[in-house]
Amino acid sequence: MPATDTILDIQALTVRFHTRQGLVSAVDGLDLALRRGRVLGLVGESGCGKTVMSHALLRIEAPGRIEGGRISFFGRDGAEVMLDALDPGGSTIRRIRWKEIAMVFQEPMTSFGPQHTIGAQIGEAMALHGIASGRALQPAVVASLQSVGMPRAEETARQYPHQLSGGMRQRAMIAMALSCHPTILIADEPTTALDVSTESQILELLRERQAALGMSILYISHNLGVVAQIAHEVAVMYLGRIVERAPVGALFASPKHPYTRALLRSIPRVDRDCALEALSGNIPEPFARPAGCSFHPRCPDRLVGICDQVAPALRRMDDGSEVCCHLYGECAHG
Amino acid sequence: MAEPTPLLEVTNLSKSFALRGGFFDAPKGVVQAVDKVSLSIARGQTFGLVGESGCGKTTTARMIVRVVEPDGGEIAFWDDELGRLDLCRLSGRQMRPLRRKIQMIFQDPYASLDPRMTVLRIVGEPLRATGCTDQRATRQRVAEVLEMVGLRHEHMSRYPHAFSGGQRQRIGVARALATEPRLVVADEAVSALDVSVQAQILNLLRELQARLDLTYLFIAHDLGVVRYICDVVGVMYLGRLVEVADKASLFRSPRHPYTEALLAAAPRPEPGQPIVQLPAPGTVPASGCPFLPRCRYQKETCAREAPEPRQVAPGHTVSCHFDLSLRGV
In this structure, of A77-91, A193-207, B147-161, the range with the lowest mean pLDDT score is A193-207
In DSSP terms, A233 is beta-bridged to: A40, A247
Q: Answer yes or no: is A151 within a domain.
A: yes
**Measured between alpha carbons, how far is B138 from B66 in angstroms, rounded to an integer?**
25
The percent of residues in chain A predicted with pLDDT above 90, rounded, is 71
Nearest CB to A279: which of B196, B202, B227?
B196
Nearest CB to B195: which of A196, A263, A283?
A263
**Min Cα separation B309/chain A (Å):** 24
pLDDT at A11 over 90: yes
pLDDT at B173 over 90: yes
Are B262 and A196 a contacting pair at CB < 8 A?
yes
The model's pLDDT over B115-125, given as tens digits with 9 standing for 90+, comes to 999 999 999 99
Are A270 and B224 a contacting pair at CB < 8 A?
yes
Q: SS3 for A132?
A: coil
For residue B261, give the chain A residue with the closest CA. Answer: A197
For residue B165, give the chain A residue with the closest CA. Answer: A46
Residue B218: the pLDDT is 97
Burial class (CB in 10 A: 0-12, 13-18, 19+), A159: middle
Residue B289: the pLDDT is 92
B301: Cα within 13 Å, side-chain hemisphere? 6
Nearest CB to B227: which of A47, A200, A269?
A269
In this structure, of A94-103, A143-152, A176-185, A197-206, the range with the lowest mean pLDDT score is A197-206
* Residue B281 contacts residue A201 (beta carbons within 8 Å): no
Residue A282: the pLDDT is 79
Residue A282 touches chain B, beta carbons under 8 Å: yes
Residue B264 touches chain A, beta carbons under 8 Å: no
Q: SS3 for A110?
A: helix
Confidence category of residue A151, pLDDT binned at 50, 70, 90: confident
Are A228 and B53 a contacting pair at CB < 8 A?
no
Residue A203 touches chain B, beta carbons under 8 Å: yes
Count chain A–chain B contacts defined by CB atoms under 8 A. Answer: 120
For residue A196, give the chain B residue with the closest CA. Answer: B266
* Residue A230 contacts residue B274 (beta carbons within 8 Å): no
Residue B223 touches chain A, beta carbons under 8 Å: yes
Residue-range definition of the domain harbouring residue A118: 110-181
* Residue A161 contacts residue A118 (beta carbons within 8 Å): yes
Mean local confidence (pLDDT), B66-70? 92
**Measured between alpha carbons, how far is B298 from B251 in angstroms, rounded to an integer?**
22
In DSSP terms, B27 is beta-bridged to: B20
Contacts of B126 (CB under 8 A, 6+ apart): B99, B100, B103, B175, B176, B178, B179
pLDDT at A3 over 70: no
Select the residue from B46, B52, B191, B196 to test the A interface by mutation, using most A Cβ atoms within 10 A.
B196
pLDDT at B1 over 70: no
Are A197 and B277 a contacting pair at CB < 8 A?
yes
- The residue type at B105: I
Q: Answer yes or no: is A155 within a domain.
A: yes
> In this structure, what are the phi and psi dihedrals at residue A70, rounded to the nearest 5 degrees?
-140, 150
Are A266 and B278 a contacting pair at CB < 8 A?
no
Residue A237 touches chain B, beta carbons under 8 Å: no
Mean local confidence (pLDDT), B105-131? 92
| CA nearest neighbour of A292 among A308, A314, A304 | A308
E-strand spans in B161-219? 183-187, 215-219
Domains in chain A, number? 1
Residue A334: the pLDDT is 34
Are B52 and A199 a contacting pair at CB < 8 A?
no
**Min Cα separation B134/chain A (Å):** 34
Residue A278 touches chain B, beta carbons under 8 Å: yes
Residue A128 touches chain B, beta carbons under 8 Å: no
For residue A259, give the chain B residue with the closest CA. Answer: B196
Confidence category of residue B281, pLDDT binned at 50, 70, 90: confident
Residue A287: the pLDDT is 80
The per-residue pLDDT of chain A, averaged, comes to: 91
- The residue type at A248: V
The percent of residues in chain A predicted with pLDDT above 70, rounded, is 97
In this structure, of B1-15, B20-34, B207-221, the range with the lowest mean pLDDT score is B20-34
- Tell me how crowded residue B9 is: count the other CB atoms within 10 A of its CB: 17
Mean local confidence (pLDDT), B246-258? 94
The DSSP bridge pattern shows strands B183-187 and B102-105 to be parallel
**Min Cα separation A279/chain B (Å):** 6
Mean local confidence (pLDDT), B198-207? 95
The interaxial angle of helices A137-147 and A166-178, nearest 10 deg, is 120
Mean local confidence (pLDDT), B282-297? 86
pLDDT at A310 over 90: yes
In DSSP terms, A19 is beta-bridged to: A22
The percent of residues in chain B predicted with pLDDT above 90, rounded, is 66
- Tell me how crowded residue B136 is: count the other CB atoms within 10 A of its CB: 7
Q: SS3 for B48?
A: strand
Q: Answer yes or no: is A132 within a domain.
A: yes
Mean local confidence (pLDDT), B196-221? 95
Residue A285 touches chain B, beta carbons under 8 Å: no
| CA nearest neighbour of A187 among A316, A58, A85, A70 | A58
* Residue A86 contacts residue A73 (beta carbons within 8 Å): no
User: What's the pTM?
Assistant: 0.89
Q: Answer yes or no: is A43 within a domain.
A: no
Mean local confidence (pLDDT), A74-96? 92
pLDDT at A1 over 70: no
Confidence category of residue B326, pLDDT binned at 50, 70, 90: low
Mean local confidence (pLDDT), B252-281? 87
Residue A247: the pLDDT is 96
The model's pLDDT over B13-61, given as tens digits with 9 standing for 90+, comes to 999 998 877 677 777 788 889 999 999 999 999 999 999 888 999 999 9
* Residue B185 contacts residue B64 (beta carbons within 8 Å): yes
* Residue B11 contacts residue B73 (beta carbons within 8 Å): yes
**Measured between alpha carbons, how far is B300 from B310 in angstroms, rounded to an integer?**
19
Q: Answer yes or no: is A143 within a domain.
A: yes
Tell me which chain B residues have a C-beta less than 8 angstroms from the C-beta of A249. 271-272
Are B273 and A228 a contacting pair at CB < 8 A?
yes
In this structure, of A145-154, A214-223, B221-230, B268-277, the range with the lowest mean pLDDT score is B268-277
ipTM: 0.84
Nearest CB to B52: which of A197, A228, A249?
A197
Residue A204 touches chain B, beta carbons under 8 Å: yes
Nearest CB to A197: which of B167, B223, B278?
B278
Q: Answer yes or no: is A54 within a domain.
A: no
| Exposure string for B51-78, b = 16+ CB within 10 A, e = fewer | bbebbbbbbbbbbbbbebebeebebbbb
pLDDT winner (highest mean) among A17-26, B127-136, B173-182: B173-182
Are A200 and B272 a contacting pair at CB < 8 A?
no
The DSSP bridge pattern shows strands A101-104 and B240-246 to be unpaired
Confidence category of residue B3, pLDDT binned at 50, 70, 90: low
> In this structure, what are the phi and psi dihedrals at residue B136, rounded to the nearest 5 degrees?
-70, -40
Residue A331: the pLDDT is 45
Residue A222 touches chain B, beta carbons under 8 Å: yes
**Min Cα separation A145/chain B (Å):** 18
Q: Answer yes or no: is A147 within a domain.
A: yes
Residue A205: the pLDDT is 92
The model's pLDDT over A108-142, given as tens digits with 9 standing for 90+, comes to 667 888 899 999 999 999 999 999 999 999 999 99
Q: Where are the alpha helices (DSSP H) in chain A?
A: 50-58, 91-96, 108-111, 118-128, 137-147, 153-157, 166-178, 196-213, 224-230, 248-253, 258-265, 330-333
Residue A187: the pLDDT is 95
**Min Cα separation B62/chain A (Å):** 21
Residue B285: the pLDDT is 81
Residue B269: the pLDDT is 86
- The residue type at A238: Y
Q: Answer yes or no: is A172 within a domain.
A: yes
Confidence category of residue B219, pLDDT binned at 50, 70, 90: very high
Confidence category of residue B97, pLDDT binned at 50, 70, 90: confident
